[in-house]
A and B are shown apart, each in its own frame.
Chain A
């Protein structure tokens, strides 16, 4: 639902312009496919918070099938990838998962997402390249394999297993 309301970046140039045009705010780009359930879920979240983070962050969506230019550069292999940029700099965030470059899973909690975006923004303002995520519980997806399993389970609505996995990790 959220994908209807959030602005889409239709070409690589648009992506670049989106990143370059913001000098004071964080640029958050969701790479994925609109029809993907994971993306749908994330878009919903992003849409809900977009108004709240409007003062320090702007959110865009990018279809990786339509814009395959960054797939290799940013290793966009996951169904959903959230990336952060500030003044033409890729912002990294330590989620405890081993991959600091991006966020590849959906979040249930709006405030959690806001917190992450705000922390990255604050770090960016201080001139940091890498920030530490405010919540340390993302270790349950500590590597790609686990994260893929997680996504798979989410996609197929295996919520009980997903929850068990979350608890276990």
Chain B
């Protein structure tokens, strides 16, 4: 490094001297400048071959050899260049296409997707942390706590009543008691059906039972339980339940021989315990059982259970009879034994003899009397039953047996009823009148045994008894009975209650109505029921109307007209009948006849509805002039009828007379400002002629008069939506929800205007607040529909339909969903249509406009449903 000690030559320019060019990062710090601009002649400095400024290595001159070498290098470079090019080309050919290339065509297809489809893309659901949450929940529910000492102390007071001093013995006892209680609670649930006596049983056996149950539920604790029981037995060897418990414990772990030994000890220790004998017999093999049973009855001859066990153990009939005979010698008053004895007789004659003897000895057993009666002939049986009643005064069974007996002898219903009534009289005199529930249960049993007459007689007797004893409206009582029975599922009996009631109160409308609805539900003979109802209640217009409707639904309009005509003969002043008559005529197409009918009706009673209907018929007939004339007449009589005003306006509208229509609307809304339909219709009319501003004004005006009218608010929101002013619509919707906060329709509409991501959570809140409003249910369905989640949409809309079957729009949505859903079968679709026709909805937002439309007058409802569905789909698409 000798240069370090040298001094630089004068005029040397650093950097440039060695050919350095520097650089510029173009960062905005400093004042970096390209060096070439600042300094002149760098080329010269470098090109000078003699210059020593090129450094220590700069002595070499550029010679021919160098030039040649450069040429060779250049050639090599060129060659390398071409090779590289070739290689690149080959690679480009053989390189597999990238992922993006593979989906290029699909990507291009995305251009054809509509906005509707884009917006209907389902949202990603939140699956994260679900399992974690579940685990946490589980951990929360499975938390255990120690019994606090305060509870233990409380138990001390309870058991010993010596509060104050803490005694260790008492404390242990109390702890044991708590443990026992909790065990009892745990096992009582499991074993309550099997061994109910152990739960509230004898105090003695409590402990061993508990122990046994404890061991049964905790298999691992057999040893512990065994020790406990053994310690009990050591202190009190005469404790029979403990012995049994120990034996059962051994049995439960399949140590039968040990159990047998234990029971032998037990018999020696407590010979008078029936239970131990029975337990021994249970465990004993068939061979041993017989001898054991004989031994048992010898030691305990008064035990009926042991005798029966002996009879069971005997193999042939004669020895069984012998055993029973000896049993009866010991216990002559046991009805159970007598019955068993009768059962084992070989001939009917003998059985009869035995039973006769038995009723002499045990006259208080109703069961024996009944068996005897069932074997005797009719007359004898009657006397037997009479004798039985002498002995057992208050037995319903005996009376019922008599009624059934009478019925089997083809006695008339009156006699049966009489018997039943006197039975109840008798029983109530003795103060053992059975409760209604018991009676109905008995009657139902009769029906199940195919003794319908007896059942009817029982109910009739009861109702007759009611009419003698009770003052209160009897029909209410019977309707209560009817409801009780239908709830219990005793349908036949329920109908009998109604029929029996109607024989007593022939002209009771409620009973007839119940009978009609019962028949309708259970597809009974509705027409017959209604005809008898009409015959018994000639003053009631409801039944002819129902009958006419039934005929009409069955496809017999002539019969319907006939019925209505007859009823009109007796009830000429009934508005409903007239209107129904006219409606049937209208629907069958006889418009002229209908008009004629209504004209006649107007002469006798000119009510508002008849006027409205007259105008409607005239409009259907396309006779606008006549319709207008009728409307004017009608309005002269009823100037405040909103329907007439509406009709008038519509007539004028359809005849193209918009100025008078406007006038009519103004007059109509002035006279009936409280009718929302008039305001809405007015606004719609303005829409066809005027601007959105007018509509707004009209609806706002209407809202001034009807602040909480759901429909008006809805129409108002729709105006804003139709005008494309979403911000305004949202504004109006929030005002609407404030005005009527209980309206599900308005709430769902306001939610539909919110951002899509928030809709679902808002809907859930709303559902909670408005208690499953059908409109909201439908709105939930609609959101699923937009996501094309058909099955869920169907589920929710189905709920909406169930909640409010009268809402036509929900039906339309349901139909639409089922049309789209690929999982729905043809059968389900037809069932939907059947249900729809049965429900016959009349309300909704869009539906009434469709089915009330005059041009749809003759179209069947099913087609209208399709029209509705199409409209809904259209509106849905527009909304998006």
Q: List the interface of chain A (C-beta within 8 A of B).
A: 7, 9, 11-21, 23, 67, 69-70, 72-75, 77, 88, 90, 99, 101, 144
Contacts and interface: CB of A to CB of B under 8 A. Distances in A.
B22 A73 contact: yes
A69 B15 contact: yes
Contacts of B4: 7, 9, 14
A13 B22 CA distance: 16
A74 B12 CA distance: 18
B92 interface: no
Contacts of A74: 22-23
Interface stretch (B29-37, B610-618, B747-755): B29-37
B15 A13 contact: no
A99 B24 CA distance: 11
B3 A18 contact: yes
A54 to B, nearest CB: 13
Q: How large is the interface on B (under 10, 10 to 19, 20 to 34, 35 or more residues)?
A: 20 to 34
Given A7-B4, A14-B3, A90-B20, A72 B9 contact: no
A93 B55 CA distance: 25
Nearest to A75: B32
Which has the most chain A C-beta neighbours within 10 Å: B19, B27, B54? B27
Nearest to A18: B3
B18 interface: yes
Contacts of B57: 20, 23, 88
A90 B25 CA distance: 14
B194 interface: no
A17 B27 contact: no
Interface in B700-742: none
B27 A12 contact: no
A101 B23 contact: yes
A59 to B, nearest CB: 12
Contact of A16 (B17, B24, B38): B17
B35 A20 contact: no
B14 A11 contact: yes
B55 to A, nearest CB: 3
Contacts of A11: 8, 14
A64 B32 CA distance: 15
A73 B35 contact: yes
Contacts of B31: 72
Contacts of A70: 14-15, 22
A133 to B, nearest CB: 17
Nearest to B5: A14
Given A75-B30, A101-B23, 15 more contacts: A9-B4, A12-B12, A12-B17, A13-B8, A15-B15, A17-B55, A19-B20, A20-B56, A72-B33, A73-B23, A75-B27, A75-B29, A75-B32, A88-B20, A90-B20
A7 B58 CA distance: 24
A44 B13 CA distance: 31
Contact of A21 (B25, B32, B33, B56): B56
The 4 residue pairs across chains A and B that have the minimum distance between CB atoms: A12-B14, A20-B55, A13-B8, A73-B22
B53 to A, nearest CB: 8
Contact of B14 (A15, A23, A88): A15
Nearest to A145: B29
A98 to B, nearest CB: 9
A138 to B, nearest CB: 16
**Max chain A CB contacts within 10 Å: which of B9, B14, B31?**
B14
Given A11-B14, A13-B8, A16-B15, A144 B29 contact: yes
A13 B55 CA distance: 10
The listed residue with most A CB atoms (<10 A of its CB), out of B29, B54, B58, is: B29
25 contacts: A11-B8, A12-B8, A12-B12, A12-B13, A12-B14, A12-B17, A13-B8, A15-B15, A16-B15, A16-B18, A16-B20, A16-B55, A18-B1, A20-B56, A20-B57, A21-B56, A23-B57, A72-B33, A73-B15, A73-B35, A74-B22, A75-B24, A88-B18, A88-B57, A90-B23
Of B19, B20, B31, which is in contact with the most chain A CB atoms at under 10 Å from its CB? B20
A69 B4 CA distance: 18
Contacts of A20: 18, 54-58
Nearest to B54: A20
Contacts of A21: 1, 3, 55-56
A61 to B, nearest CB: 12
A17 B58 CA distance: 11
Contacts of A101: 23, 25
A99 B32 CA distance: 14
A14 B18 contact: no
Given A11-B8, A21-B3, A101-B23, A16 B14 contact: yes
Contacts of A67: 14
Nearest to B9: A13
A16 B15 CA distance: 6
Given A73-B20, A74-B23, A75-B24, A17 B3 contact: yes
Contacts of B23: 73-75, 90, 101
Contacts of A12: 8, 12-15, 17
Contacts of A73: 15, 20, 22-23, 35
Nearest to B12: A13
A10 to B, nearest CB: 8
- Most B CB within 10 A of own CB, among A12, A75, A88, A99: A75
B764 to A, nearest CB: 43
Point out which of B9, B19, B23 has the most chain A C-beta atoms below 10 A from its C-beta.
B23
Contact of B32 (A7, A19, A72): A72
A18 B591 CA distance: 120
B55 A88 contact: yes
B15 A7 contact: no
B8 A14 contact: yes
B35 A13 contact: no
